[in-house]
Amino acid sequence: MNSKVQYSYESAPAKANCGPVLSCKYSPTKEYRKCYYEDVKTLYDCFQRGLSLSRDDPCYGMRPIDKDGHAGDYVWLTYGQIWERVQNFGSGLIYLDLVPKRYNLRCIGVFARNCVEWSILEQACNAYNLTIVPTYETLGADAILHILRETEMKSIVCSSVETVKILSMKEKTVPLEVIIQMEDITDGDRELAANAGVKLYSMSEIEEIGKEHHAPCTPPKPDDICTICYTSGTTGGVLITHENLVASICGCNDDDLYVDKSTVYLSYLPLAHVLERLLQCSIMEVGGRVGFYQGSTVTLLDDIKALRPTVFTSVPRLLNKVHQKVVENINARGGLTKFLFDRGMQAKSAGLARGYNTHWFYDTFVFSKIKQSIGLDRILVTISGSAPLSAEVLTFLRCVLGNKVVEGYGATETSGATLLPDPYDYTCGHVGGPMTCCDMRLEDVPDMSYLHTDKEHNGEACIGRGELCLRGANVSPGYFRHPELTKEAFDEDGFFHTGDIVMIIDRKKNFFKLSQGEYVAAEKLEIIYGQCPMVSQIFVYGDSARSFLVAIVVADESGVMMWAKEHGLAEKSFEELCDSEELKKGMKEEFARLVKENGLKGFERIVDFKIEKEQWTTENGLLTPTFKLKRTVVQKEFQKELDSLYAANPEH
């Protein structure tokens, strides 16, 4: 299914061997968006904002495990409690001089699964301008030793399991002097550390020392390095600044993946990966809560059910399993259950093609039970990354969950997120376009016969193929201590060369500016207003000399007749209803509901509209062969009606 949403526009022309620079449709000024909130420029600011909103509310949570190995309900620490521990821990690090400056950075390592202590360390690094360097087991011993040598870190924070691993692999050439263990220390731990020539502290010991020797916070600047990320997919240690991550958070918020104080997030994707850090920081910024999994994917479903998150981030492998299990269960039950499920999938799949993903009957009586059975009954946003989702699974998730389900593209060098689709675009097979914090272009790869001028890919139309190159406020300044790698991966125009081959499947110039200077993305609004059951098609229009929007609405006959029956107007014909003030009033009420539900701004509200009876088709020349709106043709066809709508509202 081809996307009908315009994602970008050409902000700079093509050059030799490169396509034009494409910028986000929401960034017509050609300036990168660097922060969503003016008072948030660093990750330290993120937590401080959350602290101001939710000091006495839950921040981080974990499930205590009893002596029989059973997990209890989530137990929460408030923002205020976390902030006290952050200051104590950071003060202890400073007092003991455990993070000295080397290569102009104060680096401290971390080797542990996601947990409260991991995030306390991260927040302490943000508060005292330290650089956190995560590592994880799947990198292998050689890679971990390389990280320890290259950063020359003095200290690393570990769980008890990883403490043993670090001590067993430590060599004399590794300058590591201190291990801070998250759990209490046993006599055996101390003996191992002494034999390896390493000083061993517990995290609680550092906090107690910091409590007695408080050090004032030394907040970072936006261009300070907050982390160095080594992953299996990078060529070196990627330098990530505070501005990089804050800009990525802004891009996600601008893409309408907005979170707020009520957000509940499950943390299980590795915090060593920058995407998980990005997502957690976005939750902290608004005072939401983060619950950590038990540490095993075997018990992940149990954790989901216990937490009931409102935001869930996953990878195709896990989402494919969810799809498989649900379908297997439905098929096993058969009968009425399978009949209703199949009918619900058919109805909602048809709805997705029309731009909406809710259904009053099937959501209430079929899909809500499935959501509850897997702990996602409160879900509002689902994000998938790392690899493509099949169209079947993506459609299944959108139908069953009935929420914003998106799959995006990102890399460590771009702070985890770069390309995102509009959450109201229910088509499959793409990752949207550049976020407001960055832009992109394609570079030719002639050896592989990929050119930015290509018009076809595997028999399908496209608008260029080539290596994806990215530039923006979220893009890394380069690799730690490897200028040659930086020079190789980043070109003279500042673009990072991802090494990924992509194709552009569509773009259209369909945003416009109103008289007050606000830019409007028409297709986004058409998708939202198109969710009205009485609407079949809609064309949103804005005159640059006026401050509000008008529209041409094509009525949906079945939706209109159902509405008429519910409102005591069943005796009227479809044609009579389309000409009636009753239907127009009913549509206005439905539009007002959609405005509120989708958080649209005042200038995105349709003030007046004209109802049409005849459908727009390829035959009458108003749709393309792929059923996209021919915007210029529709505007020309209805210009007189559009002008009349403005004339009827002179004082607005």
pLDDT of residue 303: 96
Higher confidence at residue 523 or residue 295? 295
pLDDT of residue 142: 84
* DSSP per position, 211-275: HHS-----PPPTTSEEEEE--TTSSS-EEEEHHHHHHHHHHHHHTT----TT-EEEE-S-TTSHH
pLDDT of residue 385: 82
Q: Select from 284, 312, 332 the last residue of a domain.
A: 284
Nearest to 309 by CA among 288, 327, 325: 288
Q: Select from 257, 284, 311 the last residue of a domain.
A: 284
pLDDT of residue 507: 39
pLDDT of residue 337: 94
**SS3 annotation, 295-315:** CCHHHHHHHHHHHCCCEEEEC
The answer to the question of residue 383 being in a domain is: no
| Tokens matching residue 172 | 């004399």
The answer to the question of residue 32 being in a domain is: no
The answer to the question of residue 352 being in a domain is: no
Q: What is the pLDDT of residues 181-233, one digit of tens each?
A: 999 999 999 999 999 899 999 999 999 999 999 999 999 999 999 999 997 65
pLDDT of residue 29: 66
Q: What is the pLDDT of residues 402-448, one digit of tens each?
A: 888 988 899 999 998 899 988 888 888 888 889 999 999 999 988 88
- Is 0.75 surpassed by the pTM of this model? yes
Residues forming a β-bridge with 555: 535
CATH number at residue 629: 3.30.300.30
The answer to the question of residue 208 being in a domain is: yes
The answer to the question of residue 613 being in a domain is: yes
Q: Answer whether 500's CB lies under 8 Å from 440's CB.
A: no
- Mean pLDDT, range 84-112, rounded to an integer: 97
Q: What is the pLDDT of residues 503-552, one digit of tens each?
A: 765 433 455 668 877 767 787 788 788 888 899 889 999 988 888 999 99
Residues forming a β-bridge with 241: 225
Q: Measured between alpha carbons, how far is 58 from 390 in angstroms, rounded to an integer?
A: 36
CATH number at residue 200: 3.40.50.12780
Instruction: Specify which of 74-88, 406-420, 615-629 reaches the highest per-range mean pLDDT.
Output: 74-88
pLDDT of residue 7: 78
The rounded Cα 179 to chain-centroid distance in angstroms is 34
pLDDT of residue 508: 36
pLDDT exceeds 90 at position 644 = yes
What confidence tier does 390 reach under pLDDT thresholds 50, 70, 90?
confident
pLDDT of residue 2: 57
Q: Answer whether 60's CB lies under 8 Å from 116's CB.
A: yes
pLDDT of residue 31: 82
Q: Answer whether 578's CB lies under 8 Å from 611's CB.
A: yes
**Domain enclosing residue 144, as ranges:** 43-284
pLDDT of residue 506: 43
The answer to the question of residue 105 being in a domain is: yes
- Mean pLDDT, range 160-170, rounded to an integer: 89
Average pLDDT score, the chain:
90
The SS3 call for residue 139 is helix
Nearest to 255 by CA among 421, 52, 456, 502: 421
> In angstroms, what CA-CA distances link 219 with 43, 64, 94, 130, 226?
9, 33, 14, 9, 11
pLDDT of residue 624: 55
Q: Please give the share of the chain, as a percent, with pLDDT higher than 70.
A: 95
- DSSP letter (8 states) at residue 357: -
- Mean pLDDT, range 56-67, rounded to an integer: 96
- Mean pLDDT, range 34-39, rounded to an integer: 94
For the stretch 133-150, what's the b/e string if a residue is b when 16 or more beta carbons lie within 10 angstroms of its beta carbon? bbbbeebeeeebbbbbeb
Q: What is the pLDDT of residues 450-505, one digit of tens each?
A: 899 998 887 777 888 999 999 999 999 999 999 999 999 999 999 999 988 887 65
The SS3 call for residue 479 is strand
pLDDT exceeds 70 at position 235 = no
The answer to the question of residue 118 being in a domain is: yes
Q: How many domains does the chain have?
A: 2
Q: Measured between alpha carbons, how far is 203 from 96 in angstroms, rounded to an integer?
A: 13
Task: Say which residue the tokens 């299996």 belong to.
Answer: 232
Nearest to 352 by CA among 612, 504, 522, 530: 530
How many CB atoms within 10 Å of residue 217? 17
Nearest to 201 by CA among 179, 176, 175, 170: 179
Nearest to 618 by CA among 639, 602, 633: 633
Q: What is the pLDDT of residues 593-606, one digit of tens each?
A: 999 988 888 889 99
pLDDT exceeds 50 at position 625 = no
pLDDT exceeds 90 at position 321 = no
- Mean pLDDT, range 331-340, rounded to an integer: 93
Q: What is the pLDDT of residues 347-373, one digit of tens each?
A: 999 888 888 888 999 999 999 999 999
The answer to the question of residue 216 being in a domain is: yes
Rg of the Cα trace of the chain?
27
What confidence tier does 139 reach under pLDDT thresholds 50, 70, 90?
confident
Q: Select from 284, 304, 331 the last residue of a domain.
A: 284
Nearest to 556 by CA among 608, 615, 635: 615
pLDDT exceeds 90 at position 613 = yes
Residue 64 backbone zone (phi > 0: left; psi -120 to 50: alpha; other: beta):
beta
pLDDT of residue 579: 95
